[in-house]
Amino acid sequence: MVATDEIEAFGFMKRMELRFHLFMCGHCRNYVAQIRSIGQGAKNAAAETEPDREQLQRLEKEICGKICNHNHGSS
C-alpha cells in the first residue's frame, strides 16, 4: 500500500488508522522512510542526472545500517 501510494484511494478513517499506526510503530515508519528514499533515488536515476556521490554514499551507509540493525518483532 505505502509503496504504491494506494493510500490516497482510502477513505478518511482508513487513512487516519494508517497514520495512527505509523505514529505508534517505529518499524513501519522506518519502512516508509526507506521506501520514500528508494523512490526518490529511482526518480533521480530516471531523470538521468549525475548523482551526488557523497549523498549516495551517505544513503548507502544509512540504508545498510538500518538493514543490519533491523530487528522487527523482537523485544
Entry pTM = 0.52
Long-range contacts of 65-72 (CB under 8 A, 24+ apart): 66/30, 66/34, 70/27, 70/30, 72/27
Question: How far is Cα 32 from Cα 1, in angstroms, rounded to an integer?
Answer: 10
Question: Which residue reads 542526472 in cell numbers?
Answer: 49
Per-residue pLDDT 10s for the chain (75 aa) are 555 567 777 888 888 898 899 899 999 999 888 988 888 888 877 776 676 788 888 888 888 887 877 655 554
Positive or negative, the Cα torsion across 4, 5, 8, 12?
positive
